Amino acid sequence: MRELRVSTKSRAYSVYVGTALLARLPELLKQHNIQTNQKLFLVTDSHVAPLYSENIVEPLRNAGFRVDMSVVPAGESSKSLEVLDRLYADAIQAGLDRSSVVLAFGGGVVGDLAGFLAASFMRGIPFVQLPTTLLAHDSSIGGKVGINHKLGKNYMGAFHQPLFVLFDVNILTTLPERELTAGFAEVIKHALIWDSNFVSWLEKNNMALRNRDLPILEEAIYRGCKVKISVVSDDETESGIRAILNYGHTIGHALESVSSYKRYTHGEAIAIGMVGAAMLSVEILSAPAQLVEDTELLLRKFSLPTRIQDQWTEDSLLQLMKRDKKAKHGIYTFILSKELGRVEVVHDIPEEKIRKVLHQLKEVSR
C-alpha cells in the first residue's frame, strides 16, 4: 500500500493506493479515530453494489461497526436533487448524527453525490472516498462535491475534503472497457499538464495498462494522484493554478453538452478537447506542430478519439463554450501548452482562432 498526503487549508488527509485494500478499511477507519459507536452510511450504485458491497460490509461488521447502505441507480442521472433527497431520507431513518461517517463507494458519480450528502447533512459530517473507477482517481481528490440541475451540470456543490481516500486497484478488473478508456484520458491529462516523464512512461506502458496489469495500473494511479495533489494543495478553491486541471475541458464540455451527454464519455470528449488545446497552442503560443501529433499519438495508443466525427457546427460549439461557467476575464480562456508536460492559462483568445481549430478537429487526421 502506498500513501500520498494532500494538504489543503481546510484539512490534510491521506490517499492510499494499492491492491487488496478494501479488507483494510476497518483498520484504517480506526486509525483515523472512527470508533465502532459511530454509524457508517455506505452509498454505492446499482452496478457496484452486487459486485462488491459484501466485500466491504462484512469486514466492517466483523470489526464491530454498524453499517447502513443506500444504493442509487448507476449513471450520471443519480447526481440529482431527487436522488439526494432520497439519500437524506435514508440517512435520517438510519439515525445518522453528527458523528456518523459517509462512505462514498463508486465512481465519480457516487463520489460527488455522497460527498455532497456528507457536506450538507447536519451542516457537514465526515466522509471517506472509496473510488471504483479509473476516472475517480481524479474526482476523489480535491474535495469538490456536488450534483447536477436539469439546466446544467454541477450547478450545486461544495468543497468538502474527505477523511481519507482509499483506492483498491483490484476493483478495476470489473470496470467496463469503455469506462477504463475514459479514465485513461484523465490520467493522460495529468501527465500532459505536469510531468513529461509521466508522458513517456504512459507511452511505454500503454499495452500493460490497457491489459489491466495491476502493478502498472497502480503506478499510473499513484502518479496521476500525485499530479492532482500537487495542483489542489496549492489552490483548494480554484482561484488560480487549479484551473490547469481543465486542460482539454473547454472543448470537451462543449462536445458533451452538444451531444446531450450521450455520444461521448467524459474522457472521450476531453481527449478530443486536448487535441484541440494543442492545436490552439500552435496558433496562440507558437507551439511546435509536433505537439499536436504527439498528443494524438498518445491518445490513440489508448484507443481514445482525437477528432470530432459528427457534423456539429462550429457555432453551436462556440455558443456552449461561452456559457462554460469557468469563462472569466474576457470571453474565452483556455489552458494551453508549449510542450508535453507543461501548460499555462491564457485569457482573451480570439474567437476566429477557436473556430479554426474546431474546423481542423473535424478533418481526418493522418
Q: Which residues bind ligand NAD (CB under 6 A)?
A: 45, 47-48, 51, 74-76, 79, 106-110, 112, 132-133, 135-136, 138-139, 142, 144, 154, 171, 174-176, 179, 182, 266
Q: Which three cell numbers stand for residue 6?
A: 494532500
- CB–CB of 316/258 below 8 Å? yes
Strand partners, 157: 146
Based on the residue annotation, tell me whether 86 is a catalytic residue of this protein.
Answer: no
Least Å from the CB of residue 257 to ligand NAD: 12
Catalytic site includes residue 3: no
Which residue is at the shortest CB distance from ligand NAD?
108
Nearer Cβ to ligand NAD (244/358): 244
Q: Which is nearer to ligand NAD, 168 or 358 (CB)?
A: 168
Full DSSP string of 206-263: HHHHHTT-HHHHHHHHHHHHHHHHHHHHH-TTSSSGGGGGGTTHHHHHHHHHHTTTTS
Residue with Cβ nearer ligand NAD (69 or 285): 69
Nearer to ligand NAD (CB atom), residue 88 or residue 155: 155
**Minimum separation from the CB atom of position 169 to ligand NAD (A):** 10
Half-sphere exposure in the Cβ direction for 211 (13 Å, CA): 7
Residues 6 or more apart whose Cβ sits within 8 Å of residue 337:
192, 193, 247, 277, 278, 281, 285, 287, 291, 343, 344
Q: Which is nearer to ligand NAD, 98 or 178 (CB)?
A: 178
Q: Check if 238 is active-site.
A: yes
Least Å from the CB of residue 171 to ligand NAD:
4
- Residue 153 designated active-site: no
Query: Does residue 228 carry a catalytic annotation?
Result: yes
**Three-state DSSP class for residue 147:** strand
Is the Cβ–Cβ distance between 349 and 284 less than 8 Å? yes
- Specify whether 246 is catalytic: yes
Three-class secondary structure of residue 107 per DSSP: coil
Catalytic residue among 246, 256, 268, 296: 246
Closest to ligand NAD by CB, 68 vs 76, is 76
Write the burial class of residue 82 (CB in 10 Å: 0-12 exposed, 13-18 middle, 19+ buried): exposed
Q: Decide if 144 is catalytic.
A: yes
Least distance (Å) from ligand NAD to the CB of residue 285? 26
Does 242 qualify as catalytic in the annotation?
Answer: yes
The residues that bridge with 106 in the sheet, in sequence order, are 131
Contact criterion met (CB below 8 Å) for 86 and 19: no
Which candidate in 160, 189, 249, 301 is catalytic?
249
Can you read off the three cell numbers belonging to residue 327?
469563462
Known catalytic residue at 266: yes
Q: How far is the CB of 331 from ligand NAD (least distance, A)?
A: 24
- The one catalytic residue among 39, 79, 137, 144: 144
Give catalytic residue positions.
123, 144, 186, 228, 238, 242, 246, 249, 253, 266
